[in-house]
């Protein structure tokens, strides 16, 4: 039985998304209970996950018997079977799971999952498409949308910021964004990102993490 509040997660639905999620969580040291209704899928994963079982997650009694009610976090990764996805999410809500993530395949599906009680809903293909679109169309090295209004991008510093302490550059006033972290170029002394300060001086070849409202970070990237 799971100890509520520890690093343990239930993942329901072992398609490509659910399998990748469960395996990555396990690699990070999280104890994962993986559930799928297909015995062949469970058999295939039995050597890769320590706890993977065959069960119908639309049956609340089956979830209770597996001790799912004792888990703090759960992910509904069921794919195209929207009815099963919605029923499973509703069952988790009834079990008072504190944090429920659910995968949606359409905007309408996402709205229903939120109304049923999912705390967070993801549309993997839609979100990946948006991310790739930002990378293809601009000068960004990476793009992460933090919520509906804010984003963080990885990019190179523009010419007018090179050689100037960030405190003097007055980024929030000029671009309405902030530099959160800096990684020196391949020939620099620093291997990873370090927090930016007002005294940080950017150089050519640096990589910076910039945070702000989506429209502002896009405008900043397009100005490079």
Q: Domains (ranges, CATH) in the chain? A: 8-122 (3.40.50.720), 127-222 (3.30.70.1450)
State how beta strands 31-36 and 52-54 pair.
parallel
Instruction: Determine the average pLDDT of the residues in 120-148.
Output: 75
- Cα(190)–Cα(200) distance, integer angstroms: 13
- Cα(115)–Cα(121) distance, integer angstroms: 11
Band (136; pLDDT cuts 50, 70, 90): low
Q: Which of 71, 40, 97 is nearest to 14 (CA)?
A: 40
Q: Reduced to 3 states, what is the DSSP secondary structure of residue 204?
A: coil
Instruction: Determine the average pLDDT of the residues in 204-222.
Output: 88
Name the strand (E) or helix (H) holding 136. Answer: helix 124-137
- Cα(13)–Cα(75) distance, integer angstroms: 9
Q: Which of 149, 108, 107 is nearest to 125 (CA)?
A: 107
Asked whether the predicted pLDDT for residue 56 surpasses 90, the reply is: yes
Instruction: Determine the average pLDDT of the residues in 111-139.
Output: 79
pTM, entire model? 0.68
């Amino acid at each position: 039985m799971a100890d509520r509040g520890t690093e343990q997660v239930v993942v329901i639905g072992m398609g490509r998304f659910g399998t990748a999620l469960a395996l990555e969580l396990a690699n990070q040291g999280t104890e994962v209970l993986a559930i799928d209704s297909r015995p062949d899928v469970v058999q295939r994963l039995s050597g890769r996950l320590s706890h993977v079982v065959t069960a119908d997650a639309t049956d609340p009694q089956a979830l209770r018997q597996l001790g799912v009610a004792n888990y703090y976090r759960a992910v509904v990764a069921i794919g195209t079977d929207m009815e099963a996805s919605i029923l499973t999410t509703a069952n988790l809500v009834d079990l008072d799971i504190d944090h429920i993530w659910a995968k949606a395949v359409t905007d309408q599906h996402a709205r229903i999952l939120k109304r049923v009680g999912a705390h967070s809903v993801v549309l993997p293909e839609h979100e990946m498409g948006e991310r790739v679109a930002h990378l293809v169309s601009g000068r960004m090295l990476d793009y992460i949308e933090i919520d509906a209004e804010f984003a963080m991008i990885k990019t190179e510093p523009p010419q007018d910021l090179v050689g100037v302490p960030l405190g003097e550059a007055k980024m929030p006033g000029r671009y309405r964004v902030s530099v959160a972290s800096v990684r020196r170029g391949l020939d620099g002394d620093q291997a990873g990102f370090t927090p930016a300060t007002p005294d940080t001086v950017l150089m050519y070849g640096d990589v910076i993490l910039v945070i702000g409202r989506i429209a502002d970070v896009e405008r900043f990237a397009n100005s490079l």
